[in-house]
Amino acid sequence: MKQDIRVSSSPQIHDGASTTNIMWSVFFCLVPSAAWGVAVFGAPALRVLCIALVSTAAAEALCARLFGHPLTLWDGSACVSGLLIGMTMPPGVPFYVPVFASFFAMCVVKWTFGGLGRNWMNPALAGRAFAYFSWTHAMTTWTLPGVLRATDALTGATPLGFLKKEMARNTAFYRSPMEYLRTNGYPRSLFDGGLTDWLNAQILDPLGITLPQGYVDFFFGFMGGSIGEVSSLLLLAGTVFLLARKVLTPAIPAAYFGTFGLLVWIFAGLPFSGEYFSGDVLFHFLSGGLILGAFYMATDIVSSPVSLSGQILYGCGAGLLTFLIRSYGSVPDGTALAILAMNVCVPLMNRVLRPSRFGAGKAGKGRPA
């Protein structure tokens, strides 16, 4: 019997993953957090998100035509970038800011060297940084409707901005950032107070633990900040789905959170208690753009290292830079700047830490017989 043998190019084994299903998976995992931002901030937030999405699609189509490439809108990459740009902006930003941020992200960062797969840093973060340095006043006005209006910075959220602004005064009389915010008038919701009291009475007090008020608001998203970064709960829910689908690999976020959390625990308590190993790790995890940045931006396949050792070094570097900027820089958060700084180091990491080919020595030569 004649056997039919087919010869195909690599890969011969494929798990069914593609750019399209990966990008759309990420997009739909971000939608709940974006929708929550609209629920909290209202119609202005929806306007910013829609403008960012339409602008990135238009910029993608324009660049594809200019470079003679097929239209790539349906792979979802432009939609993910557009949604992330909108999610990292204040809800009341003028309409032209997300427009220019989107065109910079697509035309300069993504298409400079040929489009998808050739961007030299995360397009959404680059667009966000471009908008911040171009229209700083518009990008540093944050509003919690009817309660708070405060100044913040690049990827920060109002709690970090409030803390950074007020910490120029004496903090020696406060045991933690949360106590400092509470004592100096940072608002809390009734939901936070009720749920915190219930958790303490029913679950935590018997264990000898007391949860201060304020963390519930941070976790669920009742606070000021960028449109899509306020709800840690919804961002983490999307992350769990992406990890289960193996769209995300845990190495970069684990190294990022581990390094940042360790440094916060060791050093971040010094302005308050004057003691080492007293930093409030939970406060720093839940405030600012850390969760959005670590899981959805630092893990960008193109602008992150390919080897496991490179990913760990990349995550550790991002965590270190985020801590330094938050603690000693003029920017309250530092997540975006830290990730962009590590993005430009990725080519060197890939060159130095590239894995050896199977059957080859460290120098790339075949092993002796």
Q: What is the pLDDT of residues 13-71, one digit of tens each?
A: 555 668 889 999 999 999 999 999 999 888 999 999 999 999 999 999 999 999 888 87
- Domain extent, residue 344, equals 153-352
If asked whether residues 242 and 335 sit together in one domain, one would say: yes
Say whether pLDDT at 113 is over 70: yes
Average pLDDT over residues 319-338: 92
If asked whether residues 101 and 203 sit together in one domain, one would say: no
Query: Contact at 8 Å (CB) between 33 and 225?
Result: no
Q: pLDDT class for 171, splitting at 50, 70, 90?
A: low
Q: What is the pLDDT of residues 184-232, one digit of tens each?
A: 778 888 899 999 999 999 999 999 998 988 999 999 998 888 999 999 9
Q: What percent of the chain has pLDDT over 90?
A: 59
CA distance 51 to 32: 18
Q: pLDDT class for 3, splitting at 50, 70, 90?
A: low
Please give the helix or strand (H or E) that residue 61 lies within, else none: helix 43-66
Q: According to the model, what pLDDT value does residue 350 have? A: 93
Q: According to the model, what pLDDT value does residue 111 have? A: 92
Q: According to the model, what pLDDT value does residue 83 have? A: 97
Residue 266 located in a structural domain: yes
Find the farthest-apart pair of alpha carbons in the chain and give their distance in angstroms, rounded. Answer: 88
Average pLDDT over residues 326-343: 91
**pTM of the complete model:** 0.88
Residue 145 located in a structural domain: no
Q: According to the model, what pLDDT value does residue 160 have? A: 86
If asked whether residues 227 and 343 sit together in one domain, one would say: yes
If asked whether residues 133 and 192 sit together in one domain, one would say: no
Q: Which two tokens stand for residue 322?
A: 């985020």
If asked whether residues 168 and 299 sit together in one domain, one would say: yes
Domain count, the chain: 2
Say whether pLDDT at 319 is over 90: yes
Residue 148 located in a structural domain: no
Residue 118 to residues 112, 211, 301, 343, Cα–Cα distance (Å): 8, 46, 11, 12
Q: pLDDT class for 150, splitting at 50, 70, 90?
A: very low
Q: According to the model, what pLDDT value does residue 244 have? A: 94
Residue 118 located in a structural domain: yes
If asked whether residues 119 and 183 sit together in one domain, one would say: no
DSSP 142: E
- 138, 166, 192 - which closes a domain: 138
If asked whether residues 170 and 40 sit together in one domain, one would say: no
If asked whether residues 216 and 255 sit together in one domain, one would say: yes
Q: According to the model, what pLDDT value does residue 151 have? A: 35
Average pLDDT over residues 152-176: 64
- 86, 105, 138 - which closes a domain: 138
Q: In 3D, which of 155, 148, 150, 113 has the Cα closest to residue 131?
A: 155
Angle at 160 between CA 157 and CA 162, to 5 degrees: 105
Higher pLDDT, 81 or 179: 81
**How high is the mean pLDDT of the chain?**
86
Q: According to the model, what pLDDT value does residue 59 have? A: 96
